[in-house]
Amino acid sequence: MLLLYHSTSTKQVPIPRSIAIDPDKEAYETGSPFINKAGMHHKIKFIPSDAFLILDDLIQNGEEGSFDFILVDAYKSDYLKFHELTLKLVKIGGIIAYDNTLWYGSVAESEKEIVDDLINKFRNFVIEFNGFLAANPRVESSLLSVGDGLTLFRRLY
Ligand SMILES: C[S@@+](CC[C@H](N)C(=O)[O-])C[C@H]1O[C@@H](n2cnc3c(N)ncnc32)[C@H](O)[C@@H]1O
């Protein structure tokens, strides 16, 4: 799931202020009743698709630097690729959030200590992503020890 928010309307999203993208419709349907209850349905456009396609479209359609906030919670092996695209779409000073950046605490453990295959499978991608962000001069970032780790960063230029 990716969520992109902008405070001003654009030609792509004239009324809804947020775009939620996930190829799995069920993921959106789980959250939809809560969105309705909060009276926010008209402000969120759901696109059942692979986010890579939509982000490319948004860039092609001149939406670079137009979003205030982007949340990424997808396959950890894709985080670096998403970073390249989301950094283009967020405005300077805008915030991007990536979920699960502690990856069950495994990023701070040695490989030998980890018995779970799923955790092992994505651990190195998360470590690589965290290292890349920490060394990236274009962003100011902070990894919050909330839940499974949430990295927030601000685009500096
Ligand atoms: C771990 S789940 C997150 C679900 C929810 N955000 C939560 O915290 O419970 C990951 C979600 O990312 C979606 N996803 C994976 N690759 C994606 C992509 N390329 N574009 C959009 N969504 C993607 C999956 O369909 C899945 O719903």
CA of 60 to the centre of ligand 1 (A): 23
Q: How many angstroms separate the CA atoms of 152 and 102, rounded?
A: 13
145 closest CA partner among 102, 97, 107: 102
pLDDT digits (tens, 9 = 90+) for 43-67: 899 999 999 999 999 999 999 999 9
CA of 148 to the centre of ligand 1 (A): 15
Q: Which atom belonging to ligand 1 lies closest to the Cα atom of 21?
A: 21
Q: How many domains does the chain have?
A: 1
Quick check: CB of 1 below 6 Å from ligand 1?
A: yes
Domain of 79, CATH number, reads 3.40.50.150
The residue segments making up the domain with residue 104 are: 2-155
pLDDT digits (tens, 9 = 90+) for 95-148: 999 999 999 999 999 888 888 889 999 999 999 999 999 999 999 999 999 999
Interface ipTM: 0.93
Q: How many angstroms separate the CA atoms of 50 and 22, rounded?
A: 6
